[in-house]
Structure 1
């Protein structure tokens, strides 16, 4: 070994290197760090925290979600908030502040509950409640008994915490249970606050304890105990237990509207002003099934109805095999309509009168014709129809409502909630006319064929109206338009409505030759009179047959015509031949 000599002549060896000690120390430090990291990352958190319901004194859960409003009461006295019932069970539920009433409408029932009263009303018949509608500081609460009967819901109440579980008939609940550890009965399965082993523990599940599963999240399941508390459990700590299906109530018999004929409905309105027609002068109307005389009209904002019905007309109709669906109009008076639709009592007053009239005159149906309605009354109109229909159905009556084509006009079209209405009534009747109305600034067809077809298609496609519930309304009238040139060079447009045959007389007298207009699908004629241009889009066999062909093309429920007495007598044969064609 090499050596060195210092100045004193003493031989000195080189110092030994200390690298092995340094590496050993470093290894110890790294091991400690790795152990600490492993502990931090992989060692489960054993801290327990008490779960709560975010301050909710009596929480309600639906599909694993805690709802905002609490329940009140206990067992039989349990009640749910109006907001929960409306949001989760029945969006059509309404609360009428003026009378402190909750109104529930189903396909065959109208139920009214009033605060602090143990007597409710179903289809205007009294029934006794165990517990009343209750008005509390945070809202209105409904007793559970009528809710269970009407909607087939199931409510479960946790004895330990008071938590309430809401289930609907037919829904499925997935149950899993905590795994078992043979020979270790004291061992538990942690249910954590979050899907992480570092999250604190909400509860220790006993072996075999069942929990409801609401959500999969990677290696974790979101679960809920029977006491209402929720958390996360690792998938490998649970095993499949069972699937529960909430039982359905026995199906209630549904009202099936009486189809007037085996095929398509052929209906016509009978316009009645102050005097009913002399039925002896009404010619045969082959193929006709239903007459709808305009007998009933809203008289004031209190819900009183003016009655122009005629028993002799009903007898004539029945003798000729026609059903009578009397028309009920709002008189096209928006202010009066707003007032009459505003409260349950006024709406029910109208309904009761209609029921009385239907019984008095042996009617088979009511046709609702509300027009020129304020947009703000859109939902009140739906509510009126929802309350009316079960009561009319109970009396065996068919309910139909007239609607216009889709447009941006608030008082002509937008106030109709067609999707909501068609769920309730038996038929929507599309008044597919007045494309160009009486005071239109531009001359044009009352109902051009492309416009009519688009109106039908819009309701079927955009509004999802079932074709079997849609009746096409067609005009038996047209308009004679006058275009008068003014001194300022502008053209003044005016119009008058005329019967179907009036243009034929003009054509014959003036020896005119109509031409077919492909743009409108109608025959058209124009002529000069007193220096002014006269224009007529003609209603005749061509236009009538084309419209009825749309009923066949879209498989609609049938046709309705406005109005009897305006038609060419042959129109009934035109309609019948197309409706009955193989």
Structure 2
């Protein structure tokens, strides 16, 4: 009796479980796997007609792939390609050039399926389909797979967890190879080429070989322009209606790029306003300046919302810009979108993702202006700085207007602590690479007038150029005082009961800003705006951007 009980106990403790169970994904007709995980939706089709769920592509491969309901289109953007696929149609557009697909995008209920044909061309993934089960395995190009092999003739059992007491989910035939996903004590976690994932004893599998998924060759021909001195030195040319008389523009030593404010969206259909001047470009070329024309949204949120809402209107804008670049022989564009609804955050990113490949295809640089981070939805929060920085060549942080023209309180246009904090937040929170971040600096300041009205202190301002501020100091015989809390020189004086205050932008503040460029190894500076500076400031900037000797 005792012996029988002991035998029963030993059987329960050491005998392997013979129960067979279904896989977790058994209800999926064509399960899809990546890195040892299966997706909740099935693939459809087979062989060259295989199609993957759009939802899977967004989660596992490219979160930026877009389905645009209004045009019933799937839009894929990479660093050098823009592909538009309309559902049920075999004709598609690659960088606006027609191509023919063998299989169309397909809708099944609320799910959208994308053919693998263009996916294989555009993404660094390899797709393998099991002839035995139809399972689809995705592998990222460049990753290394570790393969094991069942060398014995009899099958080994694949179990649901690392124990002989675990149910059997599949069998590994003699000579079959499996992908090693991990290990847990005396067990390997493996996947069969036919799909099943589970645990097998290490003694049942022999390490066989490594396989590196071939990397796709980079076919992009765009080579980003690099400033000859290492750091970018750009200035914005403010054009309201008439371009400047270039014969009156003095020397600007060290300057590399001018960005005239020439183009803006004029209506929701995507038509653009054009203030460009070929003679200005010719003048810039004689001075070896690149011209990166500024393109803005006109700061109109409603027009912006409509113009960015569809692929067709976005592409209309892009085609006009390409035409302008060719007509005026431009070298790049600077995007300046401000006062934008928060709901258009993703549409702005999509527009830049669609615009950049076309510009790069023509050798044009793309940069974008952003404000410092704040809680203001329409002037700061609508920028997805992280996503935008992945696409553009440069990002200019407009680190000025800390105290803006209509601020109820007087203060600096751009105190140094505020400027440094703005830079650090974009670098550390938004993860924008310093090699792309350009510090926007002011050539202007504000003259603040404080006075008591109805028992309340009020503040009003007017913009001053550097020269105008210097003239006031000379006329009033003022002596600037350095303020450590702002990192700037400061003057004030009285006019009757009014207190006039000016936080100065001068050589002192400019050198401090250039020190920030060096401290954080930023890409350079962009100055707002040409014509507001004193001429010696160009030499200050030129010298300040020279790399420090090691």
What TM-score comes out, normalization by structure 1 length?
0.91
1:357 equivalenced with 2:316 (yes/no): no
**1:47/1:329 CA distance change after superposition, 3 Å:** closer
Name the residue aligned to 2:532. Answer: 566
Match of 2:284 among 298, 317, 323: 317
1:169 equivalenced with 2:141 (yes/no): yes
Name the residue aligned to 1:533. Answer: 499
Name the residue aligned to 1:248. Answer: 215
Match of 1:60 among 32, 45, 64: 32
Name the residue aligned to 2:199. Answer: 232
| RMSD (CA atoms) | 1.7
2 CA distance for matches of 1:102 and 1:337? 22
Deviates more, 1:371-380 or 1:355-364: 371-380
Shift of 1:52: 6.9
Name the residue aligned to 1:269. Answer: 236
**1:294/1:48 CA distance change after superposition, 3 Å:** closer
1:435-446 correspondence runs (5 A): 435-446=402-413
Shift of 1:138: 4.5
1 CA distance for matches of 2:42 and 2:170? 23
Match of 2:375 among 397, 408, 416: 408
**1:500/1:49 CA distance change after superposition, 3 Å:** closer
1:419-458 correspondence runs (5 A): 419-458=386-425
**1:512/1:140 CA distance change after superposition, 3 Å:** same
Structure 1 stretches of 5 or more lacking a match? 1-28
CA deviation map 1:211-263 (0-9, x unaligned): 22223233332322232223332222222122222111223345221124233
Name the residue aligned to 2:250. Answer: 283
- SS of structure 1 residue aligned to 2:391: coil
- SS of structure 2 residue aligned to 1:61: strand
How many residue pairs get matched? 548
1:202 equivalenced with 2:169 (yes/no): yes
CA deviation map 1:2-51 (0-9, x unaligned): xxxxxxxxxxxxxxxxxxxxxxxxxxx22221111112222223344555
Shift of 1:172: 2.2
Name the residue aligned to 2:523. Answer: 557
2 CA distance for matches of 1:199 and 1:504? 83
2 CA distance for matches of 1:340 and 1:486? 44
Match of 2:10 among 38, 41, 51: 38
1:340 equivalenced with 2:307 (yes/no): yes
1 CA distance for matches of 2:259 and 2:451? 38
CA contact (8 A) 2:80 2:220 kept: no
**1:509/1:201 CA distance change after superposition, 3 Å:** closer
CA deviation map 1:149-173 (0-9, x unaligned): 1113211111222111111111222
Name the residue aligned to 2:511. Answer: 545
CA contact (8 A) 1:202 1:231 kept: yes
CA deviation map 1:428-463 (0-9, x unaligned): 111110011111111100011121122222222222
**1:535/1:191 CA distance change after superposition, 3 Å:** same
**1:35/1:146 CA distance change after superposition, 3 Å:** same
CA contact (8 A) 2:229 2:546 kept: no
Deviates more, 1:94-103 or 1:146-155: 146-155
CA contact (8 A) 2:221 2:361 kept: no
Larger radius of gyration: 1
Name the residue aligned to 2:96. Answer: 124
Name the residue aligned to 1:579. Answer: 545
Match of 1:399 among 352, 361, 366: 366
What TM-score comes out, normalization by structure 2 length?
0.96
CA contact (8 A) 1:260 1:323 kept: no
**1:447/1:201 CA distance change after superposition, 3 Å:** closer
Shift of 1:581: 6.5
Shift of 1:570: 1.9
Shift of 1:296: 0.4
Deviates more, 1:559-568 or 1:41-50: 41-50
Name the residue aligned to 1:4. Answer: none
2 CA distance for matches of 1:46 and 1:523? 84
**1:35/1:428 CA distance change after superposition, 3 Å:** same
